Amino acid sequence: MRTANREELAKVHYIRHIPTDGRALLLNSYYDDEARDWFMYMDIDGKIIRMGGGEVIRGKYWGRLPASPERDLELPVATLIAQHLSFPDIVEALHSIEDDVHQLAAIMEIYQMISNTKQVRPNDAAYLMTSEIEHLIIVIRSLYDLLQKLSKRACAKVVSLGETKKRIMTELPDSFADVALKGSTPRTEQEMIEKFRLPNALAAFYAARATKFAMLRDIRVAIEHHGKSLPIVFAMDEGMAVSVDEKPWKEFPLWKPELIRNNRFGPLRAVLAYLISDILNATTEYVGVFASIVSLPQAVSPGLKIFMRDPFGGHLVKLREILSAPWERPLKPSS
């Protein structure tokens, strides 16, 4: 809880506007790219004190540019909240989103360790990775529901850009599925507009995401509630692989002919990178849509962004690169 007064808060040199509308100030570390220095301020008994050090090991920080571009990921949804929507209940949702993003980085690192550790027998590696894929699907479902929680809480606090300046969507469901789907069938934009009074742009966002979300939800339900397993993962010389002829893998838009081995096997790393990239893109798309339909409160520090740092964050920064060359090891020449 913030105890410092405005005069004390003014000591935080990167903050330009101190809100008076119930928002908190996120006093995360700040990276000054020009000075190449870290700043960390803390509220101690109502006094703002600059602490020594401040470089983030695992977490988020303010900055104009990433301190370490090879491992620090810009997270636009965190920037939106830190700049404009840092009401306590929305910050709570942000913390959960951040936890899941760290999980995404860890899953990619675990894949790397399993795939490249010679001490793990090939069959054991396949079993371990099947478990990690199931974990990934659960994390992605969690992120969709956290976006929904953000929608519900944020839209109850801000007003639309229309002339009437009315508050929008005061009561949305807690679950992404309850908005995007009717049973297991994706709702149309018009259905969502009529049922939930969604602005057109937000209804289009849900509609564009509904089919992918439904597929992942069905996989998760089959695993968690019906005891079903994903198709087996294969350990190959070039890396871990899946059968591109089997569901759900064959439904992914990944399988260019040059990626297929033995007319059947595609790289598992492409599946992981695709799923992670897609959900991160969903959070970024949401930011653009949300900002287009509401009148946002004044930014606390225009021009600054929020970056996420994780010991394994390099995997998230390189997702596009991984998707362009997902096999880990060169194809062995035929004898």
User: Which of helix, strand or coil describes residue 273?
Assistant: helix
Burial status of residue 3 (CB atoms within 10 A of its CB: 0-12, 13-18, 19 or more): exposed
In a domain, 290, yes or no: yes
For residue 293, the model assigns a pLDDT of: 85
Does some domain include residue 330? no
Distances 172 to 83, 135, 207 between C-alpha atoms, Å: 23, 27, 16
Burial of 105 (0-12, 13-18, 19+ CB in 10 A): buried
Strand partners, 59: 309
**β-pairing verdict for 59-63 and 29-32:** parallel
Burial class of residue 75 (count of CB atoms within 10 Å of its CB; 0-12, 13-18, 19+): buried
Is residue 140 included in any domain, yes or no? yes
CA distance linking residue 315 with residue 306, whole number of Å:
18
- Residue 244 lies inside a defined structural domain of this protein: yes
- Which pTM was predicted? 0.90
- Cα–Cα distance for residue pair 173/4, rounded to 1 Å: 36
Q: What are the tokens at 22?
A: 């119930």
What is the per-residue pLDDT for 11?
87
Burial 28-66 (b: 16+ CB within 10 A, else e): bbbbbeeeeebbbbebeeeebeeeeebebeeebbbbeeb
pLDDT, tens digit only, all 335 positions of the chain? 455 688 888 889 999 999 988 898 898 999 999 999 999 999 888 888 989 889 999 999 999 999 999 999 999 999 999 999 999 999 999 999 999 999 999 999 999 988 877 666 767 777 888 889 989 999 999 999 999 998 888 877 776 555 455 555 557 888 999 999 998 899 999 999 989 888 889 999 999 999 989 888 888 776 665 556 788 888 888 889 999 999 889 889 999 999 999 989 999 999 999 999 999 999 999 999 999 888 889 999 999 999 999 999 999 999 999 999 999 887 665 54
> What range does the domain containing 149 cover?
6-324
Residue 126 lies in a domain: yes
Amino acid, single-letter form, for residue 325: A
21 in a structural domain: yes
| Domain presence at residue 313 | yes
Number of domains in the chain: 1
Residue 164's identity, in one-letter code, is T
1 domain-assigned: no
Cβ distance 309 to 78 under 8 Å?
A: no
